[in-house]
Structure 1
């Protein structure tokens, strides 16, 4: 099983999450590549079984680079991939506004894609501004590890049944 994690990170949160997710999946035996959204094109997704997209939220929308990537992946290639999403949003706005994950989920749904597991939504403390941090809180790590376990079970174990 080969997975590609593509993330858009404004302050470093999603990059940190992507690398923890990749490490957790690798520890289970999955081959995982990790790349920033602006550094990859749809042709580079050939040969992967699982695509995980991670985005920040800005004014209720996902990263432009990830939205563009989702729109550019050929339909037949999308149909061959298991797809999952994760995203971050500040706690204050998460209560009142949709997030980047919702934006990507809609983009993929409009292209006929279902997610292999429900999206991981991480709410960041703070209001409008927060500082980059490279260290995740213990509860965030636990959520990411649980998400990785769900991905593993849905992508690797389920086809064996």
Structure 2
């Protein structure tokens, strides 16, 4: 199964989540491509079976500028039959904690993906804690994928 992880990261937290998920999936022999959203065209997703997209939440619940162009392109790409999940970093002191994850999930569903698990929203923590949370999310994705 070919998998892609696309992310937008400002402080490095969402990139850490993306790379940690990829690391855990690769341990099981999964082929995983990790790309920054700025360097990715949405049509590239057509070549993958499982799509994971991550973004930090900007302001009071908006997508990050770093992923806006990719997201706009994504609205024109039909992804029926693809498996998907979303993740991202946020700040729980905001009313719309991690809303970018919700926006990405909704977009993936609207484009025909089967969102296989609720999105991962990370609210800070040490690098080790973030890695552990990300590894757990990846293991969940593996279990669900194997059950489908």
1:151 and 2:113 are equivalent in the alignment: no
Which of 121, 127, 133 is the aligned partner of 1:136? 127
User: Which residue is equivalent to 2:4?
Assistant: 4
Computing the radius of gyration from Cα coordinates, the structure with the larger value is 1
- Pairwise CA RMSD of aligned residues? 2.0
Q: Is the 8 A contact 1:5 1:51 kept in 2?
A: yes
Partner of 1:32: 32
Structure 1 residue ranges, 4+ long, deviating more than 6 angstroms after superposition? none
- Pairing 1:6-155 to 2, within 5 Å after superposition: 6-59=6-59, 60-73=61-74, 74-76=76-78, 78-93=79-94, 96-98=95-97, 99-124=99-124, 136-138=127-129, 140-155=130-145
CA distance in 2, matches of 1:62, 1:121: 14
**When the two structures are superposed, what TM-score results if normalisation uses the length of structure 1?**
0.79
Q: Is the 8 A contact 1:53 1:85 kept in 2?
A: yes
Where do 5+ consecutive residues of structure 1 fail to align?
126-134
Greater mean alpha carbon deviation, residues 61-70 or residues 31-40: 61-70
What number of residue pairs does the alignment pair up?
145
Give the superposition deviation at 1:63. 2.2
Q: Structure 1, residues 88-131: CA drift from partner, whole Å, max 9, x if none?
A: 111322xx224211222233344454411110110126xxxxxx
